[in-house]
Chains A and B, each alone.
Chain A
């Protein structure tokens, strides 16, 4: 309690500082678009979140620091990568599936070389994928893929076998399939193939320089310097005073403080973080679908986005994977209907005489605020919720996947099937609401076992309808990723989540 009050005071003081410093607000904030083509050169200084004792340098390790993931993504390449319309080629330039969609053949990009000059071969890719699969989190990073199912097919292509038909295998490969050289034993600083070479790395901070031989064309920046920050206040101060050029993912509070300030731009990357309320479906007070429906009908979603996220977000429709190109925008938006909520709660015999704990944490910006707001909103239906805030470890150990009612967060929203495998299927690695729905599972299987786009689309649509109607999720909104940058930084990444690390087309105009 003491700690959180202290943190709140600190945040308040920092915001006040930013406000006090706002002497030079201009009407025309936002990027200053220069005339002429992109320019080469310059060093981009980026602030990214990270904590000293959590630094992980292994590309196949568990990176909780955004700074670590950023450095790794500049230094190493994944096989595929998040793209505007789904997945984009990276180290794999093309891929084809067998008719049963169980076996995928990936061809390596022409001219791909490691930073020490040696060409990338299928042996390197096989070694790296197997290393990832054997890591502590390999089973959830490469679902349905076994070590033996990864093999070379000649020097320039690799075959990956899936235990079940999976039309979305390229999606599975887009995040941490970093490729190192065959036989690498010490992964810290081992040569990569990425757009930047590592000059130095110390204690979470790093400097990388342009890889002129990058197979997708040399990047524009001469160098990228990554500075690790623990708190948004300090990162905001650094970008306000020009000590860094880009405060990456600094969050909505800092975004507000940077808005309209001369020399700065505030960038929003939609669908960055889903912030659902999770209701346990298998037992307890929320097992009755009518109760869950009543909860979904109660909050003022727009109001929550405005208040918990300072407006940097979008209203959700209780479906995860909002940035998927096939997200069902035509499903009717669920809104507030207090009379129906009341009827449903009465019909379900929900006890409104007692209060129910709503567990939350401070893990992502706006999460704890959203819990408080949600509890407030639920009083409109006569439901009393008591917000219980836990620190990260306590939350992960005691509440996630266990508590009857809690706020969760999910930073990968570019794929409906990805969300299904992680959170929604009966076999999901992290089935947060303990939800098991055979019809949903069947719809998922239909979606991933067909190569026919129309059938794929139809099955995805069915999945979303079921999820919308009766899952354990109440997705009131998704938060934008908010970056604050100097207005001389051009063509910054616009993708949510892990897409924010793609800096090869970014350049400096001044």
Chain B
């Protein structure tokens, strides 16, 4: 290990290498997103029923449905519609929804809400998981370690809606400490900050459970590494051992765990948003799917893909950087 550290390239070269790698990563993820978006158009097309039927009265006549199909361009093949939509995307235009509103107008108000809730959840997860995982490895196999481990296992096994319902019962019904559902203010945002607490907890607790276990495992593995042993035997201060010898080796799995959580949080948001009436992207996505509204579904997927990519790329880079120092 020591040889690799001494053979470290000069900073300028390193900076360029990181940029190059980041560029490659972004390109690869963008390509992946493109394939995903095409798949979305194809899948919505393959689903039974269509947007013309779903956005008219249930008793609309066959003629009215046919006229609307033509108006929405549903008589053209899916790849033609996808190509057209993609052309608009290049200029930042997310297209028009099946109900005739610009997709950005439908999705836009929900994006900040999802980013806010997701951000809170990830920050909470990172802090709690690092803290609890760190505490657990202080005395491996001790009482605290065992308590944290079993607590984490229970949390990660809880479905979000069971957890969410439990939180509502305790904090809204019995104690009246927090609001049960989210109501919106004039700006379309969340009415008051207290409304974020329960949805954030319902989403974060399972992730905290999962990430605490990852942190604990990663740190435990590092504890067994020979260079850490050597550092402890050399009599280096504990803080220095933790920061310089333990953590760098543990960062890649921890960063990957958190990045995976970002995806899981977006997925779990659909359930939690429903339960707490939170106006995020999840509700738009489920509704758009139900409407067979290809452009809106693709718009949400594009934005969610962008969010996940922008958390995965730094996590990836952080992992590579840490491995360099390990």
A62 pairs with B55, CB closer than 8 A: yes
A13 pairs with B183, CB closer than 8 A: no
Q: Select A140's contact among B49, B57, B169, B284, beta carbons within 8 Å.
A: B57
Mark out the residues of chain B between 59 and 83 whose CB falls within 8 Å of any chain A CB in the assembled complex: 59-61, 63-64, 67-68, 71
B168 pairs with A136, CB closer than 8 A: no
Closest CB-CB distance, A165 to chain B, in whole Å? Answer: 22
Tell whether B292 is near chain A: CB-to-CB under 8 Å: yes
B48 pairs with A53, CB closer than 8 A: no
- Interface with B: A113-121, A230-238, A290-298, which one? A230-238
Docked complex Cα distance between A425 and B296 (Å): 38
Tell whether B271 is near chain A: CB-to-CB under 8 Å: yes
Q: Select A241's contact among B60, B176, B186, beta carbons within 8 Å.
A: B176
Mark out the residues of chain A between 405 and 424 whose CB falls within 8 Å of any chain B CB in the assembled complex: 422-423
Tell whether B290 is near chain A: CB-to-CB under 8 Å: yes
- Interface with A: B15-23, B128-136, B274-282, B301-309, which one? B274-282
B184 pairs with A140, CB closer than 8 A: no
Closest CB-CB distance, B251 to chain A, in whole Å? Answer: 36
Interface magnitude class on chain A:
35 or more
Tell whether A21 is near chain B: CB-to-CB under 8 Å: yes
Tell whether A438 is near chain B: CB-to-CB under 8 Å: no
Give the nearest-CB partner of B176 in chain A. Answer: A241
Q: Select B277's contact among A6, A13, A139, A238, beta carbons within 8 Å.
A: A238
Docked complex Cα distance between A61 and B60 (Å): 13
Note all chain B residues with C-beta closer than 8 A to A53. 97, 99, 106, 284, 287-288, 291, 293, 296
Note all chain B residues with C-beta closer than 8 A to A230. 274, 277, 283, 287
A231 with B274, Cβ < 8 A, contacts A53-B291, A240-B173, A430-B61 known: yes
B64 pairs with A139, CB closer than 8 A: yes
- Interface with B: A150-158, A302-310, A371-379, A388-396, which one? A388-396
What 0/1 pattern do residues 245 to 288 of B give for CB contact below 8 A with A?
A: 00000000000000000000000000100111101000110111
Q: Select A55's contact among B63, B106, B168, B271, beta carbons within 8 Å.
A: B106
Docked complex Cα distance between A392 and B53 (Å): 10
Tell whether B110 is near chain A: CB-to-CB under 8 Å: yes
A392 pairs with B290, CB closer than 8 A: yes
Closest CB-CB distance, A176 to chain B, in whole Å? Answer: 10
Tell whether B47 is near chain A: CB-to-CB under 8 Å: yes
A241 pairs with B54, CB closer than 8 A: no
What 0/1 pattern do residues 1 to 37 of A give for CB contact below 8 A with B?
A: 0000010011001101100110100000000000000
A243 with B287, Cβ < 8 A, contacts A10-B274, A53-B296, A140-B61 known: no
Tell whether B156 is near chain A: CB-to-CB under 8 Å: no
A17 pairs with B61, CB closer than 8 A: no
Tell whether B56 is near chain A: CB-to-CB under 8 Å: yes
Note all chain A residues with C-beta closer than 8 A to B97. 53
B186 pairs with A207, CB closer than 8 A: yes
A241 with B274, Cβ < 8 A, contacts A17-B165, A52-B110, A139-B61 known: no
Note all chain B residues with C-beta closer than 8 A to A136. 56, 60, 64, 67-68, 71
A202 pairs with B109, CB closer than 8 A: yes
Note all chain A residues with C-beta closer than 8 A to B184. 202-203, 205, 227
Of the candidates A45, A390, A397, the one having the most CB atoms from chain B within 10 angstroms of its own CB is A397
Q: Select B172's contact among A54, A231, A237, A244, beta carbons within 8 Å.
A: A237
A10 with B271, Cβ < 8 A, contacts A17-B169, A140-B60, A430-B58 known: yes
B60 pairs with A429, CB closer than 8 A: yes
A393 pairs with B60, CB closer than 8 A: no
Q: Select B188's contact among A9, A205, A244, beta carbons within 8 Å.
A: A205
Q: Select B161's contact among A13, A55, A393, A395, beta carbons within 8 Å.
A: A13
Docked complex Cα distance between A235 and B286 (Å): 18
What 0/1 pattern do residues 168 to 190 of B give for CB contact below 8 A with A?
A: 11001110100111011011100
**Residue contacts A-B, CB under 8 angstroms, 11 given:** A9-B159, A10-B161, A14-B275, A53-B291, A54-B55, A137-B57, A139-B63, A231-B275, A238-B183, A243-B181, A394-B47
**Additional 4 contacts, C-beta under 8 A, given A62-B55, A136-B67:** A139-B63, A231-B277, A393-B47, A397-B48
Which A residues form the contact surface with B (CB < 8 A)? 6, 9-10, 13-14, 16-17, 20-21, 23, 45, 51-56, 61-62, 64, 136-137, 139-140, 200, 202-203, 205, 207, 227, 229-231, 233-235, 237-238, 240-241, 243-244, 390-398, 400, 422-423, 429-430
